[in-house]
Every structure is written in C-alpha cells, then in structure tokens.
Structure 1
Amino acid sequence: MLVVRVVPVGRARLVGAAVRRRLVPALTGSAPTASILTTPARCNSQLAADAHRRRHKNVITGPDAVALRLHRGHLVVQHPRWPVDDAFFSLAWLRDHCRCRHCYDNSTFQRKTDVRQLSSVGNPLHFNVNSTGTVLEIIWHDGHQSEYSMRWLWENSYVGARHREQRQSRLWQRCLWDGRRTSAEDLTSVVYDSFMTTEEGVRRLMKGFLTHGAAVVTGVAPTPAATQAVVERVGVVQHTMFGGVWEFTADGRHADTAYGRDELLPHTDGTYYSEPPGVQVFHCLAHHGHGGETTLVDGFAALNSLHQADPAAYELLSRVPCAGEYRDPSRRLHMVGDGPVIAHRAGAEPTPDSLLRLRFNPYDRAAARRGEPAEVEAFYGAYGRLTELLWDARRRLRLKLRPGTVILIDNWRVLHGRASFTGRRHMCGAYMARSDVLSRARSVGLLI
C-alpha cells in the first residue's frame, strides 16, 4: 500500500512540487514499500532558502527516505544507499545530461544539447522520483522534461567518482616491478586458442597488460598474418610510416637504429609523434644466431623512485618539453613530436599516482629549441638522473622472444630494448593506439 503524507507549507505560492519518497534501492535490487512525502514548492529563491535552512529536518522521516532539495544551483540528493551524506548535482550538469530524444541520440550516442544555454539554467518547476523509485524526474523552467535513472546518476556523475575509483581498484591494480624481483614468468601469458575464441582469454591478457604493462600470447603461428590477428583481437593496427604490421631484419631499410644488430638500450617508441603509439607489439618469426634478448623496464617504477629521491627533477621533467624527431630525407620525412618527458592525467596533481605517459628516447631527441635559459642545465641534470634509473641493468627484465610468442608492451609505461645479436633475426610487429586498447579493456569489464 502506498502511503502519502502531505506537509502544509503555508501560502500557496506554487510553481511546481518537490517530492520526497522512499526509493527502491537502485544499487541493491531490494524493493521496500515506498512511502511518498510531497510538499508544494515555493518560488525558486524562497524554495532554495527554505531547503537550505531546514536541511531536511521536519520534512522527511525514516531511515530509508530519499530526500531532494535545491541549494544554490544544485539539486541535492540524500540517498540511503549512497555512501555520501549529500550528493550535489549541478543543475547545468543535469540539464546537459538529459537523455530524452530531443537532447540525446541513443542510436549514435551523441548529444544534441546546445551548450550555449547551459550557463543560465534556472531552477526547475518540479522535481520528484517516479512511483517505482528508480527515476528522477525534472520539469525545467522552460517546460522541458528530463528523466534520469538513479543508478545512472551514481555511476556516471562526478558525485560518485571517488567510489568508482575504489571499485576500479578491486578489479586490478598497477604493479610496479624491476628485474630484481620480477622475471618473464611473472608476465601474464595466454594461449592463442583461448585468446582468439573466448572473452575470458582476452580479459586475462588485458588484466595482465594493465597490471604489469606487458603481456604475452603463446602458440601463435610465426607469420605476419597470425600476428595481425592477435592485434585485431584487441584493437586496430595503427598505420605509421613503417606500415601496418611491419617486418624487419638488420638490413638498414629504414633510417633507424632498430634495423641494425647493435644493442638498443631501453626506450619508448614514437617520441617524434604528437601522441606516441600506445602499444608496441613484437613477434620474432625466426632467428638463426645468438643474442637479441628483449629487455623491458618499468618506467613508472623508475619515475616513482625519481619522485622520492629528487622531487625537483621530477617536477622539471613534468613541465619542460623535450622534442623527438625522425628524419629520412630519401622519403621526405621529418617528424617532430613535442611534449614533456613525464605526463599526468588531466586535472590531477603531478605525482606518480596520476602518471599517464613517459616519453623517453635519448636516440631520437631533437635539437632543444625551447625552454628557459636558466633551466637548461637543470634539465640536463634531471634527464641524466632519470636515465641512470631507467638504464640501471638491475631494473631490466630479460626474455628471449621465440617464434610463436607475441608480446604486447605498454609504450606509455614500459621501455623496451634489445641485446646485440648475430645471424639473421626476422621480426614483425605493429603499433596500436592506446584508446583502442582501453576500449577493449572496458568491453571485458576491466575499466569502469
């Protein structure tokens, strides 16, 4: 039975109704009996003032009640299943996130909202929760009607951001490592058949990739076509000046030190691009000779050490640009990419907890044409300090790539190198955009 209690509020200066009800808990699936408490709404300014003064006292009773009120341009929600006392939803944000057919195209997942109108969103005429307790309903000052799933609001708004991060950490956590405590056997390895035929195989590989910055698929046919199939199971091959899925030997075909036999110290690829490739894929198709072991270094672990030992160097490398370049006059190529050595997530504090990308390739550094003269010497000191950490042999994880083994490396985090070798070594590989890989991780439930 639905029980309705009406609380008188005095004079009838009504422009709508504010509704309080016990909500069917959207996050738990249980369904208690709903009781609705309805109060007439005053004019916008009076309503906000009254709601702020009452702070729900003498308005809503009962431990499971959901309370709604206006406060200084926000709709404030008190939800018994949400781990916050007051959830403040900006009225502009709510209007921007209306999902009706006039504001959002659900077939293309694109907005139709005119953002120029969002800076002057007035108080709504009416707001309440629907009879099933699952949907917030708003009638705006211009008569437009919006509906929001309470679950959707929690899962997609800034209100629940911190708690989404906590849920995310329970799915996987980044594991920093170095060669003293980690070996190739610690990297996640998935058999080709499982990877290609089951989503669980993809999920295992992606979880290992996110955790350690590298993961392996075994049992792959030693051909470029099979390698491409592995890549396309995760995302899309990123085409560059080297091609799509490329092959190389020590033939000097390109103006790049990778096309030789000498040792390559750990580095990241593509520092000469505006956005370096997100993932590096390698597959050794054949090797008739000795040496050529792949070396990996966890760049984020080294950056964590740098931040602890020399915060000033860390800060400088997070701010001062260091350009990379690739030149091949025979092909009329001169690529230049610019950006700091250390990049963090947008809007976050520049600390190791918010690391996004490391651009480190001393081989491909361009002429330093930017920066403050007073910081030049300090930059070389900071870059040298980081190089000492990254090239410390104790940090290196070594593995011998053999035909049938494909390795995926996070090029924004993990550096790769190669020992010198003899004989003929036939490799193939590819790049992938980071967005494609993260998209695949979301599809298997690893990113919220």
Structure 2
Amino acid sequence: MARAALWPGAPGTVAAPLSPAQPRSAPLSPAQRRCRPAAVPGPPPLYGLRALCPAHLYGGGGGPAPGRPGAAPALLPARPRRRPRALGPGSAAPSTGAGPGEPPRVPETPVPSMCESFRAARSACWAQGAAAAAAGGGGGRSREEPGAAAETLGNSIPSASQASLHHPPAQPRARRAPGEFCLEFSHFTAAQVSCARSGQQKAYRMWCQRLAWLLRGSSGRRWPRSVAASARGHHTAPRSLRCAWQLHGDHLELRYGNTLMRLDFVWLRDHCRSASCYNAKTNQRSLDTASVDLAIRPQAVRVDESTLFLTWPDGHVTRYGLEWLVKNSYEGQKKQVMHPRILWNAEIYRQAQVPSVDCRSFLETDEGLKEFLQNFLLYGIAFVENVAPTKEDTEILAERISIIRETIYGRMWYFTSDFSRGDTAYTKLALDRHTDTTYFQEPCGIQVFHCLKHEGTGGRTLLVDGFHAAEQVLRRAPEHFELLSRVPLKHEYVENVGGCHNHMIGVGPVLNVYPWNNELYLIRYNNYDRAVINTVPHDVVRRWYHAHRALTTELRRPENELWVKLKPGKALFVDNWRVLHGREAFTGYRQLCGCYLTRDDVLNTARLLGLQA
C-alpha cells in the first residue's frame, strides 16, 4: 500500500532542499538549520487522529472534554494519566525548548508523559514533512525507507467506489473532516530525523514503539473493536472488523468480508428484530410495514466487530448481526445455493453407489429417515427395500415423510394396463421421459412407485436427471437456457373416459429458475401433455423450437439414461420437479401402486432433521 507523507507543503513552511547525497533521515546540518524559517507552523488539527494520543484514548486531557465541540472521542475507558518521575530535592525542571524551527527536545530525565512525547513526535514529523515538500518530495515512502511516517490501517476495498467508502486518499490532505476515522501512524521513525543526540533518539524510539504497540495491539491489549460515527460521518474500520460502510441517499452501503451489500433504509427498518417489531416466540413480524415512513433515514449508525446499530428518527434502535445481513441480503443470497444437489448421468450415479434404506430403519428410526432424505435431496431419487408388496404398506411408507396429495387420480393410485383412465400410462406401450402433472398450476412434488407384481418381460423404468441435462444446455448454449426459462407454455389434460371427466390446464416455462441466482428448481417437460403453443409471438416460436430441441437432445443422450427394474418390495421415490421418468414397453400382467406427495411437507421433514432443503 502506498504511504502518504505527513502534511507536505503545509501553508507557510519553507525549507532548504536536502542534498541528494544526504539521506532524508540524516540530521539537518547547521547551515540547513540557518536556512529554515524562524518558526515552523505546527500540524493542523488531527480530529480523529487526536484520538490516538494516549490522553484521549483514555478520556484524559490535552483537548476539549468529550462531548464538547472539537472533542476527540474517548475510545477507551478512562484511566489515570501517567505521571513523570519525581525530581530530586533542589532539582530544576529540565528545559524542553528548542531553537527556532527545531523540533522540541525530549529530556532524558525525567521520562516525559506519553502524550507529550506524541506531541513532540508529531511536531518533528511536521518539520520533516515540510523539509521534504520543499525538497520536491511529495509522495509517500515505503516502510523500508528511513523517514517513513504514515501507514493506513483501514481496510482496502477494491471497488469502483473506493474513494467513497472512506478509506485514506492516495494524496494527503491538510485537514480531515470531523468524524472521519482514519487510523494512521503505525510507526514514527521520522521523529528521529531531527534528533542529534543518541539519548534523544532512544527516548523517541521508545515512545514510538509504544505508540505502534497501542495502534496495532499486543498480546495484552488490542485496539478498541468498536468504532462509532454519526450517520453523516466517515468510517474506516480496523482490519479485525473486515467492515466498512457509507450512507447514501436511500440506502446503506456495507462491506463485510467479501460481500458488498446495499441495504435500503425501509428494508432495514422493516426487518428489525427487536421485541417491539418481531415476535421471537412465533417467529413472525409484529411491525406494521405500512406504518414505516418510505423516506425514513437513520439518524446514527454504528458498527462493531459483529453488529450493525441503527438509530431511527423516533429513537428506536435496530441491531443486526453482520453475519445475518450477509446471509439475508440480496447480495448474499446471490452467492448461496437454495438446494444443494449432485447432478448425475448414469455413470456418475452408479459410481456413487447410493445405498437403499431398509424399510424398518426408514419407519422406526430418525437415522434411517435422515439417510433416505439426504440421498433424495442430493440425487432426486431414493429407494426403500423390503417393503411389503401391498398398497396399504406403501401408503404407510409414504406417510412417514409427507401428507399424501390427493388428485384427480385419487389418494393412492393403483393401475395396470387396462386403460381404465384416459392416460398412456394405463397401457403396455413405452413411455418417453417426462415429468407428471405438468397440467397442474403447481405440479406434484414427489412421486412414489411400487411394483406389486409383474408376470412378463420388459417394463424397466427409465430415470433421467433433468437438471443435469439443463446444465449442459446452459454451458453449451446459454441463449437456449434463457429462452426456455422465460417463455410460458400451456399444458393440458382432457379426460372423458367412463365416469372420469377432467380438463386441467397448467401454465409455466419448461425451466423455472430463482431470479436472484439463476438456480434451477423445476423442470416442466412433457411432450404428451403440452398444449397448443399460443403464448409465443411468431418471431420467438422458431427460436423456442431450437431451444427445446437442444434440451431434448441432452435428455435423450444414452449416457444420461439410468434404467432400473422395479420389483415387488422395492419402492422408488422420484423428485417430480427434477427427475424425468419413462418406461420400457412390457408384456404380461404388471401391477403398480403409488401416490403423489406434497413437496412442502417432504422438505419440512428434512429441515426438522437438520438437512438443508
């Protein structure tokens, strides 16, 4: 990081240039001292920097009392000021004066107070800065060069708005605005430049090390971790906080860790978790959002190591954990995955060797249920072994994780190839990959299959991870993925068979994504039930067909097809929002039962067991 020189070119200062052969850190020669003005003006008021003086650190003197205009804030609890050593009887107080333009001399005995040494060091730095400015030096020095005098301890924020985030500017300023906290001066070797005697250098070095110890912290005490400023003030937080913020017209800009958040003031007021605004027992909002002033703005803002504090015009104080804000802000959500998954093709799934769960463990233990749900959430399919081959036992199995969703097919469906319903599934024909109930406004979330009997050949079940296929489309042709996720289509089911009369219509795009992070959460793919395409303008229709063809090609790749043979006693749970299923044509008598489950209830069960769902 570039170092900024201390007050170079201050008004009213003139100094003779140093010889190029003479180091900048060397003492001034008598000739150079004679060329200096009668007096070197002192440095400008330091505001936030004055708070670094030990007397101000502990609320001591050396300036206006805390709370009065121009006072530096007391950053640490008050403690008695350190007194100099007592002089012996008849001893005269040593003089600390100096010649015109010279830095103050530090007496060897008694040891001066830390505040006095700091002031002396500051004046010496001022004199050296003026001499360096007159010599043509304006920039900062590296830490290795003698005379380096300033170092910024604030965070470094690599963004386009770096200057607006209240970090020290590249070029020094003569004055800093009140309330601007810029922690500088990690070491003061420049204080040694004007010291001719080794004893003075030793004293200065001792106090400079003490000051650096206070700024950087040591094993015994660290810099205060709470930095306060008014709502209009500037702020630069210590590195330990990893935090910086700035108020804008209608929002707070806050960086914590690697996340830069922009938090609207109304949002910050609306989501207050105080007892008067939020019922912690019911986890519900108590605040009437309609009562919040849409032009609200905090009167004061304060940040410590883990918490943001906002004081509103009515005096109400809102507190937010910084980690909570990262998790719940828009910027934080963009980086998070709602539902962790493992995308797979046939080879990936076989190599994973995902185990089936025994029926007794599934029904009687939370461990067995949790293992089953973990597999289901990650892969979209899961198996339960050793289930009694009856519809009643299958119903008990399904109710272990969810409420059964009753549909036009009843509570538990039970079918053979007798075409008792107006659906291709009730035949012996092969079924291409598809998802069920695309003609519902909200397709059924989970489907359960249990083969009770099969006396014949064929009939294998086809499973394809739709999310894996969509991911391949996104990687190879992002424009196709975007089109499939934006164009809504109608799906329709018309039935007039026997006593069953139904006309269902569902509307939605083929791919459904969360808009904030583009995460896919639902695929609605069923070429059997897709209705007339009348929701797409003519200039989009052809492009939609190209996108649909690209997805279909991925879904039909042989390497993406997982074929399994369902047998009596082995129940299959399928995520109908993700995994497409199909069937091989078969011969003989084949009897299946199953049901649909409410997706919300399955995810609720998983969360209660500590899983992310």
TM range (shorter): 0.7 to 0.9
The equivalent position to 1:245 in structure 2, one of 412, 415, 428, is: 412
Aligned match of 1:362: 527
Deviations 1:391-416 (A, max 9, x none): 34443111111122111111122110
**Paired residues of 1:183 and 1:398 also in contact (CA < 8 A):** no
- 1:321 paired to 2:495: no
Give the distance between the partners of 2:606 and 2:577, measured in 1 at CA. Answer: 16
**How many Å separate the matches in 1 of 2:275 and 2:410?**
43
Q: 1:34 to 1:192 in 2, by over 3 A?
A: farther
Partner of 2:382 in structure 1? 215
Structure 2 residue 578 is matched with structure 1 residue 436:
no
Q: How many angstroms does 1:286 deviate by? A: 2.1
Match of 1:175 in 2: 343
Q: Which residue matches 1:408?
A: 573
Conservation of the 8 A alpha-carbon contact between 1:272 and 1:324: yes
Quick one: distance in 1 between partners of 2:300 and 2:357? 55
Counterpart contact for 1:187–1:216, Cα < 8 Å:
no
Alignment partners' CA distance in 1, 2:546 and 2:467 = 19
SS in 2 for 1:195: helix
Match of 2:194 in 1: none
Check whether the contact 2:466–2:523 (CA below 8 A) recurs between aligned residues.
yes
Tell me how far 1:188 sits from its aligned partner.
Answer: 4.2
**Aligned-pair CA distance for 1:323:** 1.8
Bigger proportion of residues as strand: 1
Equivalent pair of 1:5/1:38 in contact (CA under 8 Å): no
Q: Distance in 2 between matches of 1:263 and 1:374?
A: 35
Deviates more, 1:371-380 or 1:120-129: 120-129
In the TM superposition, what are the counterparts of 1:29-428 in structure 2 within 5 Å? Answer: 35=224, 41=230, 47-48=231-232, 50-51=233-234, 55-56=235-236, 63-64=239-240, 71-72=247-248, 73-75=250-252, 83-84=257-258, 88-118=262-292, 120=294, 122-126=296-300, 137-149=309-321, 151-158=323-330, 160-161=332-333, 164-165=336-337, 172-177=340-345, 179-180=346-347, 182-183=349-350, 186-329=353-496, 330-349=499-518, 354-428=519-593
CA distance, structure 2, for counterparts of residue 175 and residue 287 of structure 1: 31
3-state DSSP class of the match of 1:367?
coil
Q: How do 1:6-17 residues align onto structure 2 when only pairs under 5 Å count?
A: 11=69
Larger CA deviation: 354-363 vs 266-275: 354-363
Distance 1:180-1:63 versus aligned 2 partners, 3 A rule:
closer
Is the Cα contact below 8 Å between 1:295 and 1:398 reproduced in 2? Answer: yes
Q: TM-score, with normalisation over the residues of structure 1?
A: 0.77
Q: What stretches of structure 2 of length at least 5 have no aligned partner?
A: 1-55, 60-64, 72-178, 182-220
From the superposition, tell whether residues 134 and 341 of structure 1 become closer, same or farther in structure 2 (CA, over 3 Å): closer
Q: Which amino acid aligns with 2:434?
A: H
CA contact (8 A) 2:356 2:384 kept: yes
Amino acid of the residue matched to residue 103 of structure 1? C
Shift of 1:272: 0.6
Residue 279 of structure 1 aligns to which amino acid in structure 2?
Answer: I
In structure 2, give the amino acid aligned to 1:11. Answer: P
1:314 to partner: Cα distance: 3.4
1:367 aligned partner, one-letter code: V
C-alpha separation in 2, matches of 1:426 and 1:69: 65
SS at match of 1:364: coil
The answer on whether the counterparts of 2:473 and 2:481 sit within 8 Å (CA) in structure 1 is yes
Deviations 1:317-366 (A, max 9, x none): 333333211111343310011222222222344xxxx2222211111121
Counterpart AA for 1:256: D
- Give the direction of change, closer, same or farther, for the CA distance of 1:379–1:70 in structure 2 (3 Å limit): closer
Q: Is the 8 A contact 1:316 1:379 kept in 2?
A: yes
- Kindly provide the CA deviation profile for residues 108-167 of structure 1, in whole angstroms up to 9, marking residues without a partner as x: 33223333344625333455579xx876554421233434455544443445436655xx
- Calculate the aligned-residue CA RMSD, in Å: 3.6
Q: Distance in 2 between matches of 1:152 and 1:303?
A: 32
Aligned residues: 404
Q: Contact 2:454–2:588 at 8 Å: present in 1 too?
A: yes
How has the CA–CA distance of structure 1 residues 69 and 161 changed in structure 2, closer, same or farther, with 3 Å as cutoff?
A: same
Relative to 1, partners in 2 of residues 1:64 and 1:40: Cα closer, same or farther, differing over 3 Å?
Answer: closer
In structure 2, the CA distance between the partners of 1:376 and 1:173, relative to structure 1 (3 Å rule), is: closer
Distance (Å, rounded) in 2 between the aligned partners of 1:254 and 1:148: 57
Q: Structure 1: where are the runs of 5+ without partners?
A: 21-31, 42-46
Q: CA deviation at 1:37?
A: 5.2
Cα distance between partner residues in 2 of 1:248 and 1:33: 73
CA–CA separation in structure 2 for the residues paired with 1:145 and 1:307 = 46
Q: 2:173 maps to what in 1? A: none
In the TM superposition, structure 1's runs of 4+ consecutive aligned residues that sit over 6 Å from their partners are none
Identity of matched residues, %: 35
Query: 1:371, CA displacement in angstroms?
Result: 1.5
Supply the distance in 1 between the matched residues of 2:302 and 2:271 (Cα, whole angstroms).
Answer: 17
Say which is worse superposed, 426-435 or 399-408, in terms of deviation: 426-435
Mapped to 2, the partners of 1:443 and 1:244 lie a distance apart of 25
CA drift of 1:303 comes to 2.2
Deviation, 1:214, is 1.0
Contact 1:297–1:415 (Cα < 8 Å) also in 2: yes
How has the CA–CA distance of structure 1 residues 136 and 249 changed in structure 2, closer, same or farther, with 3 Å as cutoff?
Answer: same
TM-score between both structures, scaled by the size of structure 2? 0.58
Q: 8 Å contact 1:192–1:217 — kept in the other structure?
A: yes
Check the 8 A contact 2:229/2:301 in 1, yes or no: no
CA contact 1:188–1:209 (8 Å) conserved in 2: no
